[in-house]
Amino acid sequence: MKSGDRRRLLVSSAAAALSATAVGLGAATAAAPLRAALGGGLGDSPARSDLSRWPRELWITRPEAQESVRAVYWADGALQPEGCRAIDRIYRDLRAGVERPISTGLLNLNYVMQCAVAQCWSARPMVLLSGFRTPQTNRQVGGVEPSVHFTGKADDYIYAGLSFQDNLRLAWLFRVGGLGVYPDRGSLHKDVGRARIWVQHGRAASSGPDPGLRLGAGR
């Protein structure tokens, strides 16, 4: 099997195994569906480990702030305050200097996607372009209101080193709530709000179940 085909198979299998509870508050674990899909690639078999206690670490960089963090936000069956604070900090509204707790559902979604990236390509950080926003900042950047960025349930991001098409395939397979595609910026939006999809070129946006997305071969 070719490397590209293997990657697509692994990501597709992982996405198929991802359930809604994997990114919900109080979910048993985000590692379980990915572990099942990848044949135990994340450690011991489910029969020999308590998956709800499996540590979950996120690796995030924020170029605009020249910051990077690797933080364990979940371990021993509970959220880890120190790790959560580090993630809340890097997700802060940089213009307003304000931070708020980031949704556990979004953290779990990021964790599952990060595991898929590490398995199918190599371990690398998520490049965070926008996280929590105050209403004032949202207006300044031309965001839609009300925005899920207000509640810490959304981010704009990209995985550096992956083509935009591979980033888009990954986002499409793991979509849970909103998926926004910004080809001109080379970035994506994801959230754990209501399900919706849109593509924006400049200031013009189209939306719908599949608003002109092209997920075939390409860069």
The DSSP code sequence of the chain is --HHHHHHHHHHHHHHH--GGGGSTT-S-SHHHHHHHTTSTTSS-GGGS-GGG--EEEEEEEGGGTEEEEEEEEETTEE-HHHHHHHHHHTSBTTTTB--PPPHHHHHHHHHHHHHHHHHT----EEEEE----HHHHHHTT--SS-GGGGT-EEEEE-TTS-HHHHHHHHHHT-SSEEEEETTTTEEEEESSS-EEEEEETTEEEESSSSS---SS--
Per-residue pLDDT tens digits for 86-135: 999 999 999 999 999 999 999 999 999 999 999 899 999 999 999 999 99
Which residue, among 156, 132, 153, 135, has the nearest Cα to 144 in the 3D structure?
A: 135
Per-residue pLDDT tens digits for 170-199: 999 999 899 999 999 999 999 999 999 999
**Confidence (pTM):** 0.77
What is residue 35's predicted lDDT score, i.e. its pLDDT? 43
Which range (16-20, 106-110, 209-213) has the least confidence?
16-20
**Positive or negative: CA dihedral 54, 170, 117, 132:** negative
**Backbone phi and psi for residue 4, each to the nearest 5 degrees, phi listed first:** -65, -40
* pLDDT band with cut points at 50, 70 and 90 for residue 210: low
Per-residue pLDDT tens digits for 76-94: 989 999 999 999 999 999 9
Look at residue 43 and tell me whether its pLDDT is greater than 50. Answer: no
All residues at 6 or more sequence positions from 13 whose CB lies less than 8 Å from its CB, including other chains: 37, 38
Report domain extents, the chain.
3-207
